[in-house]
Amino acid sequence: MVKILVTGKNSFVGKNFIKQSKYDQIDEISLIENKPEEINFSDYDVVLHLVAIVHQSKQIEEKEYFRVNRDLCLRTAQEAKKAGVKQFVFLSTVKVYGSYNPEIGTWNESSICEPDDSYGKSKFAAEKELEKLVDKDFTVSIVRTPLVYGEDVKANMLSLINLVEKFPILPLGNSNNRRSFTSVQNLVAFIDRIIEKRLSGVFIAKDNRDLSTTELVTYISKFLKKKLFLLSIPRFIIYFGKRIYPKIFDRLYGSLEFENKETLERLDFSPPLSIDEGLRKMIKAYQKNK
């Protein structure tokens, strides 16, 4: 029987993992209230590490990202290994790759990482340190994800849902971008499979299909049962918009696409939930929670 400790109490992914994982011997702990050196890891086979400063903010100094995302992670892994834990699963991010360049092509597990913000840099630094701990008795599984959505989702996806719900007309009719997403149900299934296989290395967890922003808001409006009229705006406005408001326009019109063929082959796995079903479940939970 596999016993799992989740670090990151009441986190979005953690709550969903405890609720949906096929494993039922799962505890969670806060690393705000507990120092890694004071935790009894000896009762556990696997540690799923979710603690992180996630979103980039100018109000947070870079050293704070590294203190939490790299140093606290490494201390946790070291203490877990010392106590006899067999596997350390680290939830990383596709931000380790850096800024997306369509000319380079789709990123995969082996693509060069050139992170360009404090979040991505600190996560990639943690990955490099964790890899040094791997041996025959200690497995480190690094899981990189694009935007994760699902029940109780926050941040960018929640903002987009609110946008579709409040405004019947949006200028998103001709976004020809491609973006990868991960439903939290599929992420839990990926993590379950990684634990079952007990494999070290880098994995990319994503849904089976990528979407344009036009397709995404169309799905959201459909499941919200809201009529939505999408305007197509001239390409030159998008071009200049990306230069004036790069973050906003990149999220709406830019591409961020990944390929995880190696992950699926190594795990002998296919995500159980289609992206339209994942979005439907998210909207259903959103309406229920309102």
> Treating both helix axes as pointing N-terminal to C-terminal, what angle do 213-224 and 155-166 enclose, rounded to 10 degrees?
60
pLDDT of residue 155: 83
pLDDT of residue 132: 98
Percentages helix, strand, coil for the chain, rounded to the nearest 5? 45, 15, 40
As a whole number of angstroms, the distance between CA 282 and CA 161 comes to 10
The kind and range of the H/E element at 157 are helix 155-166
pLDDT of residue 181: 96
Please give the DSSP secondary-structure letter assigned to residue 130.
H
pLDDT of residue 244: 77
Please tell me the pTM assigned to this model.
0.94
Could you tell me the fold of the domain covering 4-212+251-289? Rossmann fold (3.40.50)
Residues 6+ apart with CB under 8 A from 131: 140, 142
| Residue 54: Cβ within 10 Å count | 18
- Angstrom distances, CA of residue 223 to CA of 143, 278, 284: 29, 11, 8
**What pLDDT digit, counting tens, does each position of 37-67 carry?**
999 999 999 999 999 998 766 688 999 999 9
Predicted confidence pLDDT, tens digits, the chain (290 residues): 899 999 998 899 999 999 999 999 999 999 988 999 999 999 999 999 999 998 766 688 999 999 999 999 999 999 999 999 999 999 999 999 998 777 777 899 999 999 999 999 999 999 999 999 999 999 999 999 999 999 888 888 999 999 999 999 999 888 888 999 999 999 999 999 999 999 999 999 999 999 999 999 999 999 999 999 998 888 777 776 677 777 777 777 778 899 999 999 999 999 999 999 999 999 999 998 87
**What pLDDT digit, counting tens, does each position of 268-285 carry?**
999 999 999 999 999 999
As a whole number of angstroms, the distance between CA 241 and CA 237 comes to 6
pLDDT of residue 174: 83
pLDDT of residue 135: 96
Helix, coil or strand: residue 96: helix
Could you state, in order of their start, the residue ranges of all structural domains in the chain?
Answer: 4-212+251-289
Full strand arrangement of the beta sheet holding 46-49: 26-29, 4-7, 46-49, 87-91, 139-144, 201-204
pLDDT of residue 55: 73
> Treating both helix axes as pointing N-terminal to C-terminal, what angle do 275-289 and 213-224 enclose, rounded to 10 degrees?
50
In 65-132, DSSP assigns E strands to: 87-91
Residues 6+ apart with CB under 8 A from 135: none
**Mean pLDDT over the full length of the chain:** 92
